[in-house]
Amino acid sequence: MEIKAMQELLKAKSKEIASFTNNYEKSLRYYKTQNDITNKNNGKSKTNKDGKDEPLRHADNRVSSNFHQLLVNQEAGYVATVAPQIDVGSQQDSNRVSDVLGDNFNLTLNQLVIDAANAGIAWLHYWIDEDGNFRYGVIEPSQITPIWSTELNRKLLAVLRSYRQFDEEKGEYFNVHEYWTDKECQAFKQTNGTDKYELEPYNCFTSYDMTAGYETGQSNVYKHDLGRVPFIAFPKNKFEQPDLLKYKGLIDAYDDIYNGFINDLDDVQEVILVLTNYGGEDVDKFENDLKIHKAIKLDNIGTGDKSGVDKLTIDIPTEARDDALKITREDIFLYGQGVDPSKFESTNASGVAIKMLYSHLEMKAANTETHFRDAINELVRAIMNYLHLFNPEGRKITQTWTRTQVEDDLTQAQTIAQLANYTSKETIAKNNPLVEDWQQELKDQKQDISAGDPYTTDDEHDKPGKLNGGPDDDKEN
Give me the chain's average pLDDT, please. 84
pLDDT given at position 444: 87
Domain closes at, from 315, 348, 381? 348
Q: Which residues of 174-198 are buried (b: 16+ CB within 10 A; e: fewer)?
A: bbbbbbbbeeebbbbbbeeeeeeee
For residue 154, being part of any structural domain is answered with: no
Q: What is the pLDDT of residues 396-418, one digit of tens each?
A: 999 999 988 766 566 667 778 88
Strand partners, 209: 214
For residue 457, being part of any structural domain is answered with: yes
Mean pLDDT for 212-219 is 72
More confident residue, 188 or 404: 188
For residue 418, being part of any structural domain is answered with: yes
User: What's the alpha-carbon Rg for the chain, to the nearest Å?
Assistant: 33
For residue 361, being part of any structural domain is answered with: no
Out of 65-79, 160-174, 380-394, least confident range? 160-174
Q: What is the pLDDT of residues 317-376, one digit of tens each?
A: 788 899 999 999 999 999 999 999 887 665 455 666 777 888 999 999 999 999 999 999
- Do 251 and 66 meet the contact criterion of CB atoms below 8 Å apart? no
Q: What is the pLDDT of residues 110-133, one digit of tens each?
A: 999 999 999 999 999 999 998 999
Q: Which residues of 355-387 are buried (b: 16+ CB within 10 A; e: fewer)?
A: eebbebbbebbeebbebbeebbbbbbbbbbebe
Contacts 24+ apart (CB under 8 A), 125-132: 125/230, 125/231, 125/232, 126/226, 126/230, 126/232, 126/379, 126/382, 127/224, 127/226, 127/230, 128/224, 128/226, 128/386
Domain closes at, from 308, 333, 348? 348
Query: Which residues 6+ apart lie within 8 Å of 449 measured at CB?
Result: 456, 458, 461, 468
Look at residue 115 and give its three-state secondary structure.
helix
Same domain? 341 vs 419: no
pLDDT given at position 206: 82
pLDDT given at position 449: 80
What are the phi and psi torsion angles at 418 (to 5°)?
-70, -30
pLDDT given at position 460: 47
Same domain? 341 vs 415: no
Domain closes at, from 348, 364, 388? 348
Residue 434: pLDDT band with limits 50, 70, 90: confident
Total structural domains within the chain: 2
In Å, what is the CA distance from 72 to each residue of 43, 110, 221, 321?
20, 10, 38, 27
- 447 pLDDT exceeds 80? yes
Residue 414 lies in domain: 408-471
- 15 pLDDT exceeds 90? yes
For residue 271, being part of any structural domain is answered with: yes
For residue 85, being part of any structural domain is answered with: no
Same domain? 258 vs 344: yes
Residue 151 and residue 154: Cα distance in Å, rounded? 5
For residue 363, being part of any structural domain is answered with: no
For residue 55, being part of any structural domain is answered with: no
